[in-house]
Amino acid sequence: MSEQQLIQSDIALSAEEIQQIDAELAHMPQKSGAAIDALKIVQRQRGWISDESLMAIARYLDMSPEALEGVATFYNLIYRQPVGNKVVLFCDSVSCWICGCDGVKQKISEKLGVDYGETTADNQYTLIPVPCLGACDKAPVMMVGDDLHTNLNNEKIDQIFSGQVSTTASTTESTAESTTTSEEEGS
């Protein structure tokens, strides 16, 4: 089947997404080996993985939707619900906890009006806990979008989210809690 035929038969994936997934498949002995990469590629384009996107990826990788859902659920940086314009990945693991991340998290919640799994009312930020961001020597740390913020304190939170008004949040569901950003970066 030609690439054009594939695009037509699998209209939920864009040509660009298929091209990027194919590049990953070139390194894999089995199509299912590209599952996480394919999820990340589509999420990068669409912001999150809808049921429709998941079905399309599963079809393209010759996987069952249930098997791919298992991968997406295991990997906590795959979002199965819509998220804000930027995801705040807040480390609550041991080094950051010792350095006072609980107080920093409370400050963020007050500043943004959200708890874990919630998105600000203006859809700017979604707050999600992560096990470790690999910057333990600069704890407490978090990522806001692609930017790493270190040695956090209340003043830094005010600076980072300056102008943000706390209002009623909406709940956003991320997935499981067993995978680290180090895996994200290394995959």
Q: Which stretch binds ligand FES (CB under 6 A): 10-18, 32-40, 91-99, 114-122?
A: 91-99
Burial 52-68 (b: 16+ CB within 10 A, else e): ebbebbbbbbebeeeeb
Q: How many residues does the chain have?
A: 187
Of 56, 71, 91, 112, the one binding ligand FES (CB under 6 A) is 91
Strand partners, 127: 88
Identity of the residue, 39 or 139, whose beta carbon is nearer to ligand FES in the bound complex? 139
**Cα gap 13→107, rounded to integer Å:** 40
Residue 139 CB, shortest distance to ligand FES, in Å, is 5
Q: Residue 133, interface with ligand FES (CB under 6 A)?
A: yes
Q: Residue 153, interface with ligand FES (CB under 6 A)?
A: no
Give me the amino acid identity at 24. E
Kind of pairing between the strands at 125-130 and 86-91: parallel
Residue 47 CB, shortest distance to ligand FES, in Å, is 25
Q: Name the site residues for ligand FES (rule: CB under 6 A).
A: 91, 93-96, 132-136, 139, 141
